């Protein structure tokens, strides 16, 4: 899970507007591996990794409850976080 600030809308557009079966999204961003090898976006202001503990059926979507095993260092400044309102116009990579 990555938290982006408003200056990093490009990553949200890439991951929200492209489909992984057509585009290698991680080839287009700077990243580094976490302790378990999961890719971490270097431009994220905060992040955590861990296995999915529970899946929750929400109709046309599935919610995931993770169990964090590694977290980013505390954020030293208060960034303007990227919110739904900032990305709601992104056209998804494929229909739901």
Q: pLDDT, tens digit, for every residue of 37-52? A: 999 999 999 999 999 9
Query: Which portions of the chain are predicted below pLDDT 50?
Result: none
* pTM for this predicted structure: 0.79
pLDDT at position 76 is 78
Please answer whether residues 67 and 53 qualify as being in contact, where contact means their C-beta atoms are separated by less than 8 angstroms.
yes
What's the CA gap between 62 and 79, in Å, rounded? Answer: 29
Q: Which residues contact 73 (CB under 8 A, 6 or more apart)?
A: none
List C-alpha distances in Å: 6 to 10, 12, 47: 9, 10, 15
User: What topology does CATH give the domain 2-87?
Assistant: Pnp Oxidase; Chain A (2.30.110)
Closest CA to 34 of 75, 74, 69: 69
Please report, for the chain, the start and end positions of each structural domain, with discontinuous segments joined by +.
Answer: 2-87
């Amino acid at each position: 899970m990555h938290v982006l600030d408003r200056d990093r809308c490009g990553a949200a557009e890439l991951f929200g507007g492209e489909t992984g079966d057509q585009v290698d999204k991680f080839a287009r961003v700077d990243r580094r591996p976490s302790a378990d090898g999961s890719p971490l976006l270097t431009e994220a202001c905060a992040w955590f990794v861990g296995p999915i503990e529970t899946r929750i059926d929400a109709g046309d979507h599935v919610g995931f409850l993770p169990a964090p095993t590694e977290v980013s260092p505390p954020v030293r400044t208060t960034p303007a976080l990227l919110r739904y309102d900032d990305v709601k116009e992104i056209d998804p990579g494929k229909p739901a």
